Structure 1
């Protein structure tokens, strides 16, 4: 199960309010960075037949079947530090992260 903090929920709701045609928020991973996988949070334009759709705090979170085992149990937060603002991921499946925190590895 994926969890979302109130700060991340507020940020996702703001994105969805500006894009009423979006099917929800897509949460996925893709190969990138120096450690292997990077997180992707974006508006879901459509939902594939094999996507998993989760209702988390009233937000439709769409996860593809390849990403789900890698993000299951993740807590998504949203943090502001000075002029920077970003989603932060606490993933129990990650066995390592790159120095900049942009990518992660799994066993």
Structure 2
């Protein structure tokens, strides 16, 4: 299950409405890399594959690939306005360590493994 705060939902809906391609949805996942081991992937897409899991979160279509789901199950996405900018924040209950900027994480099963080379 993925949780999206009201402020993040409002921002994502606004961004989805700006897309020129109909039937876009939110795609979430993880990629190897980042200073802590895994980096979050979040964007809009209009194509699904057999490896995807579909969720309906607050009437928003959210798709996660099967390999990423165990790493982000329970993820809470928030959006915070700060000054002239703002950004999405991820609160991942599966993360045992995160980098300083919050864009990458490591799970308990990855503890002791060397971090991937990269920057936050």
Q: Which runs of 5+ in 1 are unaligned?
A: none
Q: Which moved more, 1:75-84 or 1:56-65?
A: 75-84
Distance of 1:12 and 1:65 partners within structure 2: 22
Preserved contact between residue 90 and residue 102 of structure 2 (Cα < 8 Å): no
- Displacement of 1:30: 0.8
Larger CA Rg, structure 1 vs 2: 2
Q: Indicate the residue corresponding to 1:16 in structure 2.
A: 16
Aligned residue number for residue 66 of structure 1:
67
Q: Is the 8 A contact 2:89 2:102 kept in 1?
A: no
Which residue of structure 2 aligns with residue 57 of structure 1? 58
Runs of 5+ in structure 2 lacking a partner?
Answer: 109-120
Partner of 2:44: 43
Question: Do structure 1's residue 25 and structure 2's residue 26 form an aligned pair?
Answer: yes
Question: Would you identify which runs of 4 or more consecutive aligned residues in structure 1 move more than 4 Å?
Answer: none
Residue aligned with 1:7, SS: helix
Q: Counterpart of 2:101? A: 100
Q: CA deviation at 1:99?
A: 2.1
What is the Cα deviation at residue 83 of structure 1? 2.3
Query: Structure 2 length as normaliser, TM-score?
Result: 0.83
CA RMSD of aligned residues (A): 1.2
User: Number of paired residues?
Assistant: 107
The 3-state SS of whatever aligns with 1:13 is helix
SS of residue matched to 1:10: helix
Shift of 1:4: 0.5
More strand by share: 1
TM-score computed with the length of structure 1 as normaliser? 0.92
